[in-house]
Chain A
Amino acid sequence: MNPSKRNSLTFQELILRLQAFWAERGCVLQQPYDVEVGAGTMAPETFLRVLGPKPYKVAYVQPSRRPADGRYGENPNRLFKHMQLQVILKPPPENVQELYLESLAAIGIDLRKHDIKFEEDNWEAPTLSAWGVGWQVMLDGLEITQFTYFQQCGGIDLFPISAELTYGLERIGAFLQDVDSIYDIVWARDPETGHEVKYGDVRLADELQFSVYNFEAADVEKTWEHFRLYEAECQGLIGQYSTVSGDKVPGDGIAREKSRFPLLAAYDLCLKCSHLFNILDARGAISVTERVGVIALVRALAVGIAKAWVDQQKSEAAAAEKSDEPEPVGTKKLKKVNEKLSPVGS
């Protein structure tokens, strides 16, 4: 038995420590995004923030849903919905790897007593037209983090690039507490009574019922219908944006019209499509010929939004520059960057 088990962190303490660690290093602590995503990367705090020139640092827990991975709560290592702690550092600091290792120390892992390896692992997400190079981080033979230097997102080359750290929270929790089943992880411990609430108490019903829904109950026809509706609306918005930014002469009016254009809402619709596709896939409802086509549809949405988003950001930056005419260019740009950080979720 791991001698540290008794004083090991609860699941929620693990999250709190990691969040505190990254907050102390200048990260915005975002809250989980409230639309279903398959991975923390898909949340707008990553997918959109890594685009364009603005520096940004953010950390957030993201429950990630993968309907096909559900196991009715019967498999001790597999989940339909798992939690990632996602950190985006844009641009990456020089010592990003060392910072990451310090974060492990912050959750009580004494690296001198363990074996840590960075193994080559290049990440790629074709549906987002995104990829990067990096490592999977192995702790005593367990993959605990995906470490990626993002190179492209939504088909757009990134500059500056971002470092993306994705901690697998359940794996780390099970490691720290030395339990063989995710469901046995202590989520919370009452400091007064010592009463423990386990991961299974919190999430088991979730796993069972969503597995039933995703594999058995989801109405295929209606799910298709939802998909089509979301897809059409998203596509419609992307089309409208290009009309707004189209052949008109640039001016203040256009800039205003552009900056209020609901691309963020369009992105939510795209996420919906992606999730519905995953349900249909788990349900075995996507035929071969459809499959390739549907993936291409979702990718087209993601790429379309990424392109429009970059344009929207540019036009805002340009407008800001104009309104500040008297200031010297360099300082003004920097200032604006700091001021205009949050069209998302603010």
Chain B
Amino acid sequence: MIDAALQELRERVGALLSRERLAANQIAHFDTPRRLAVLASGIPATQPDVTERMNGPSASVAYKDGQPTPAAHAFARKAGVDVSQLEKITTPKGEYLAASVTRKGRSAAEILAENLPKEISSIYWPKNMYWRKLNERFVRPVRWLVAMLDGETIPLEFDGIQAGNASRGHRILSHGKVTIPRAGSAYVDALRVAKVLGRGEREQNIRKALDAAARYIPGARWREDKSLLDTVVNLTEFPSVILGGFDPQFLVLPEEVLVTVMRDHQKYFALEDSSGQMLPHFLAVLNTEGDPQGLIRHGNERVLRARFNDARFFWETDQKRSLLERLDLLKHVTFQKDLGTYYEKTRRVQRLCSWLSEVIKQSGMPVRPGVIHKAACLAKTDLTTELVKEFTELQGIVGGLYARAQELDPTLPEATRLAIADTIYDHYKPESTEDDVPRSTEGAVLSIADKADTIAGMFALGLVPSGSKDPFALRRQANGIVKVIAEKKLPLRLMALMRDARAGYKGSEAENKFVEDEKFDGAVRVFFRERLEFYLKDVCGYAYDVVKAVLAADADDVVDALARAEAVKQVMHMPEFQAIGAACKRMRNILRQAAEKGIDPAAKFEYLPEAAAEEKNLMAYMESTSARVEEFRNNKEYLEALLLLSTAREPVDAFFDKVMVMVEDEKVRANRLALLRTLLKEFSTIADFSEIVTEGKA
């Protein structure tokens, strides 16, 4: 949050300075949890003067018998010059009066005082507050304001605070007030003396201190964790690091639990040995100079011990009731107020899973429907455990760990039991675009079914994400579905998946509140198309026009769209396809114009006696190649199909060079339109090449 706000403030100040012709040489920034600062250097003291030409009345009106009329006097007054200084200019409309007006540049201080408060109040905050006045909002109360131009204070006010040259040092390590002698590096220096460091320096110090503290344990290293590092950098003004320890007994708890407590709750870094095994130590980042008496270490160890004790207590309590026994408890856990309980969701997801397993099985892919069925049954039961109530971020993972520990059904072979546990463990994955997909096909199926059920229910209720509003994180879940299908190469169609997920709600009470099926279909189609576009473009890195071309042909089969995108990417720079792209655009235009005029193509093209040589040639080409193209396409050998199609360039170009489509003869015209339609279709089933941006023209 601080990082984004600072970035924005810096951009705003930069834009303000450029707009006001006060552009800086350089804009640096400085931030801590208690301050945001922008340091601009090399800005002029005043705006440069500007001379502008002002146009006035026509000369014939302004002068009568060589004497200035009242119109000329009025114009001179307006321009602020003497009548004698007025000039005459010649325009296409005749002779007019003009005046050169010089506007004095205003001082930088004046402009900054006037505009900076507006820029500060425009910073975006996810949640802000008011304090002294209802309409003055900021992320927290504004306590002081420093605004200086060189050595002078800029007289400005924000949120009831008058700007001055007094800042504040570290809350504990300094005496409080810090006088800033002048703007620029003196600001940073004065704060450093008062134990306040800039972001970069803090990060560097923390890294060094983490390294140094880890060295106390032979062979240990701290686990790199960028987001944790960012968090602690933004929680401190003068950081240091302590090494603490905990009872090795706690290492029997699953590492997932230990890491969650340390990282998410306590913001500690974990230590591991060279093989990646966790060690009974942690590193805490402090916002103070050090801990000579060990009091801070002692306190932190005490807190961690209590947390771990709690976790162990929850773990042990949870074992008193197996996951299977917890299934009925889900009848009391709300999934969504209109969509019923997690028990009902479990039943729906199980049903959807068996359908998905069947589809996958029929495609010849190995899958174990029994494992999925059992895992789907237990997947949500961990929501009733104490451990998940305490560590909600471990949902799914805890279920997997318990399934493993509880040995579930003893009649099942060990391998099956472990497969069920892993399927439960992975089923929330991927939680982000960077996160891994589930390890097994079974995990993939459950992950997809769980998410599809949620999206289907929400869309059926009309709760479609819009703009920044996506309270149920449906976009993330849909991204997850696309990613899992793509990476696991699953033979699933998005629309069929979503329709079947929607069918799971049949007969439920929720259905009374559902939108009509067409509306559901339409919204889901647009939504998933966007998600697939996002995946191809932002995750896989395909060019915008390639993605558009590929999705124009079909956006339902994720794996197929990926294969087509790859093929198109390989051929799109070939001159043949540049030409074919242009030809496709032309065909599309001709067909559209014909349709607009109510001219229909023939049902099928045929060899008419009137046909031109190039026309016959193109028909012959089509007949000789289309079967082979079809075969490649059916085998999903899209690159081969496209390479074969590239040979169409010559006959197509020749056709357009020599043959006129929209001729008078209705029969010939209809036949040629039919030929174009067939040809266009042939190209467009892999990608709509008219979408490809032609090189040099884009």
Contact = CB atoms under 8 A, between A and B. Distances in A.
B310 A77 contact: yes
Nearest to B509: A289
A119 interface: yes
- Pairs A-B, 10 closest by C-beta atoms: A140-B299, A141-B300, A115-B286, A141-B303, A133-B129, A288-B334, A142-B303, A115-B296, A292-B337, A288-B341
Interface of B: 1, 33, 127-131, 134, 139-141, 143, 171-173, 235-236, 266, 268, 284, 286-288, 291, 293, 295-296, 298-300, 302-306, 309-310, 313, 331-334, 337, 340-341
A180 B310 contact: no
Given A132-B129, A175-B299, A115 B306 contact: no
Contact of B299 (A119, A142, A288): A142
A77 B173 CA distance: 32
A117 B234 CA distance: 11
A288 B127 contact: no
A149 B131 contact: yes
Contact of B331 (A118, A288, A292): A288
Interface string A55-78: 000000000000000000001111
Contacts of A157: 134
A141 B334 contact: no
Interface residues of A, number: 40
Contact of B295 (A2, A117, A180): A2
B299 A139 contact: yes
Contact of B332 (A117, A119, A284): A284
A201 B293 CA distance: 33
Contact of A288 (B130, B171, B303, B333): B333
A116 B128 CA distance: 24
Contact of B288 (A77, A115, A133, A161): A115
A113 interface: yes
Interface in A4-63: none
A281 B449 CA distance: 31
B327 to A, nearest CB: 15
Contacts of A78: 310
A180 B128 CA distance: 38
Contact of B172 (A112, A119, A284, A286): A112
Nearest to B338: A292
Nearest to A77: B306
B171 A161 contact: no
A223 interface: no
B293 A180 contact: no
Contacts of A117: 235-236, 287
A291 B295 contact: no
Nearest to A135: B140
Contact of A119 (B140, B235, B303): B235
A101 interface: yes
Contacts of B140: 133, 149
Interface string A111-135: 1111111111010000000001100
26 contacts: A75-B313, A111-B172, A112-B173, A112-B288, A113-B295, A113-B296, A114-B288, A114-B296, A115-B284, A115-B299, A116-B171, A116-B172, A116-B287, A117-B236, A119-B235, A133-B140, A139-B299, A141-B300, A141-B304, A142-B303, A149-B129, A161-B129, A180-B302, A180-B306, A288-B331, A288-B333
A92 interface: yes
Contacts of B302: 142, 175, 178, 180
Contacts of A161: 129-131
Contacts, number: 99
Contact of A76 (B129, B309, B341): B309
Contacts of A247: none
Contacts of A284: 332
Contact of A287 (B134, B305, B332): B332
Contacts of A119: 235
B127 A133 contact: yes
A133 B332 CA distance: 32
Given A118-B33, A288-B333, A288-B340, A140 B296 contact: yes
Interface in A275-300: 284, 286-288, 291-292
Tell me which of B171, B236, B333 has the highest count of chain A C-beta atoms within 10 A of its own C-beta.
B171
Contacts of A75: 310, 313
A73 B300 CA distance: 24
A159 interface: yes
A140 B266 CA distance: 10
Nearest to A75: B313
Given A114-B296, A149-B141, A288 B129 contact: no
Contacts of B300: 140-141
B406 to A, nearest CB: 22
Nearest to A148: B129
A70 to B, nearest CB: 13
Interface in A238-291: 284, 286-288, 291
Interface in A63-100: 75-78, 92, 94
Contacts of B331: 287-288
Contact of A120 (B1, B287, B304, B305): B1
A287 B341 CA distance: 10
Contact of A291 (B143, B299, B334): B334
Contacts of A116: 171-172, 287-288
B288 A76 contact: no
Nearest to B298: A2
B296 A288 contact: no
Interface string A181-214: 0000000000000000000000000000000000
A153 to B, nearest CB: 14
A269 to B, nearest CB: 26
Tell me which of A117, A122, A178, A291 has the highest count of chain B C-beta atoms within 10 A of its own C-beta.
A117
Nearest to B139: A133
A247 to B, nearest CB: 30
Contacts of B298: 2, 140, 178
B220 to A, nearest CB: 20
A122 B127 CA distance: 9
A313 interface: no
Contacts of B134: 157, 159
Contacts of B305: 180
Contacts of B306: 76-77, 180
B310 to A, nearest CB: 6
A103 interface: no
Contacts of B236: 117
A323 B310 CA distance: 61
Contacts of B235: 117, 119
Given A114-B299, A115-B288, A140-B303, A292 B129 contact: no
A151 to B, nearest CB: 6
Nearest to A4: B295
Nearest to B289: A112
